[in-house]
Amino acid sequence: MIQVNKFIEDLKPSSTLAINQKVQELRHNGNSVFHFGFGQSPFPIHNSITTALTEHVKDNSYLPTIGLEPLRKQISVFLKRHQGIESNKDYIFIGPGSKELLYQTIMILDGVFLIPKGSWVSYLPQIKSKNGQYHILETSIKDEFKLSPEELDAFCNRDRNSQKTLILNSPNNPTGAVYKEEELEDLAVICRKHNVIVMSDEIYSQVNFNTEFSPSISKYYPEKTIVFGGLSKVFSAGGYRLGFMALPKDLWCLKSMYRSLFSETFSAVAAPIQHASIAAYEYDLSLKNHITNCSSVLKLIAEFVYNQLVSSGLECTAPQGAFYMMIGFNSFQNKFKNIGITTSDDLSEYLLNNYGVALLPGTDFYFQKHELFFRLAFVDFDGESVINSYANFDGTDEEFVITNCSSIYRGVAQIIQCVKDL
């Protein structure tokens, strides 16, 4: 009998990766699958970044644990210019993806972690792996599943003793919602009132459909907001594994803990990747335009999918950023019940087996199992050819989707067919 850490034994593999594997298997066996399950940026990485990577391919030494100084400096400039955030390069840390930095932060902080219903799948398993305390805060589709200040205040009034850390993600995975300035300002008032630490996951900041970047709560609550970001989503470089975090003034005292934990775990991010990232955060005009174009394509697709599904009676969040929306089949609940489907897990299996549609059930995003909500990721297309066609396209949005993202077009038609068949 092998003795193991029980809290890790209880974790299940991330469902995002599990569904991706199942879809690959089905496709391998000749089935056609419309893959709305996996949220990877489909676009090509800009050549200013790949050129810098090639130039540094021979850099083989370990870099400083918290990251290369010129990179930390460049991120600080980028945060100010392109995210409206004040930071200090000495308190910006580089890690192998923001996921690892979120995890190390969760390891360092004690107290209760607050997660709004409709949040990223990995926060809770990370907390559970250290047997941490947590609370899921209620949200509702009428607010696009954004956290209300009243809900946060009510929880903080009930639990006055523990240290509280709110994990806030905007633009949001899974809903595509982007918090507005005034919403963040209101949340900041409550955070300050109750001394809440905020982990602000801004990994999709520039993947915004309306503005250059998304508002940050750190503008209204700079003293206790830790900002997280990285290359994966904005720069389409998930496989480079580079993320950063910016520690706020009230938490500067934690720097040596982070440094020790980094040095005893991952040591430092790969040297060539750190050098390539300097080019990313220099954010030259051609790179900036590329990112704006990618966001415009995502907006067009998001609006198409949203309009189709809403006009067929489904509930949908209206994405303003990222690659996702939550869709709900709750108005068809009774009809699904008649065919023995009562949970989102049942329905996700039914959709995959009968309609070839892969969606992630809401249970992965802190919804109850009887709530028939799903995350739909709208990135199953060839980003390189789509971005090239977008430059010269002058047809309607629907024509664009039919011609360039046929898997999305046909997948949406399958979802609509499923509710028509009920």
Ligand X SMILES: Cc1ncc(COP(=O)(O)O)c(C=O)c1O
Which residues of the chain form contacts with ligand X (CB under 6 A)? 39, 97-99, 120, 169, 173, 201, 203, 230, 232, 238, 243
Residue 183 or 201: the one with the smaller Cβ distance to ligand X is 201
Residue 100 or 186: the one with the smaller Cβ distance to ligand X is 100
Q: How far apart are CB 214 and ligand X at their closest, in Å?
A: 12
Contact criterion met (CB below 8 Å) for 45 and 385: no
Residue 199 or 418: the one with the smaller Cβ distance to ligand X is 199
Q: How far apart are CB 15 and ligand X at their closest, in Å?
A: 12
Contact criterion met (CB below 8 Å) for 198 and 221: yes
Residue 74 or 200: the one with the smaller Cβ distance to ligand X is 200
Dist CA 194 CA 69 (whole Å): 35
- Long-range contact pairs involving 72-80 (C-beta distance under 8 Å, separation at least 24): 72/244, 74/278, 74/281, 74/282, 75/229, 75/244, 75/246, 75/281, 76/246, 77/281, 78/281, 78/282, 78/283, 79/227, 79/229, 79/246
Residue 269 or 372: the one with the smaller Cβ distance to ligand X is 269
Q: What is the number of the residue whose Cβ is closest to ligand X?
A: 97
Q: How far apart are CB 324 and ligand X at their closest, in Å?
A: 8
Residue 99 or 164: the one with the smaller Cβ distance to ligand X is 99
Enclosing H/E stretch for 174: none
Residue 169 or 216: the one with the smaller Cβ distance to ligand X is 169
* Amino acid identity at 82: H
Dist CA 31 CA 24 (whole Å): 10
Nearest Cα neighbor of 8 from 103, 131, 111 is 131
Q: How far apart are CB 172 and ligand X at their closest, in Å?
A: 7
Q: How far apart are CB 29 and ligand X at their closest, in Å?
A: 27
> Strand 373-377 and strand 324-328: pairing?
antiparallel
DSSP string, 329-374: -GGGHHHHHHTT--SHHHHHHHHHHHH-EE-EEGGGGT--TTS-EE
- Contacts with 300 (C-beta within 8 Å, 6 or more apart), sequence order: 390, 397, 400, 401
Q: How far apart are CB 232 and ligand X at their closest, in Å?
A: 3
Q: How far apart are CB 252 and ligand X at their closest, in Å?
A: 23
Sequence-ordered alpha helix ranges (H) in 129-204: 149-158, 181-194
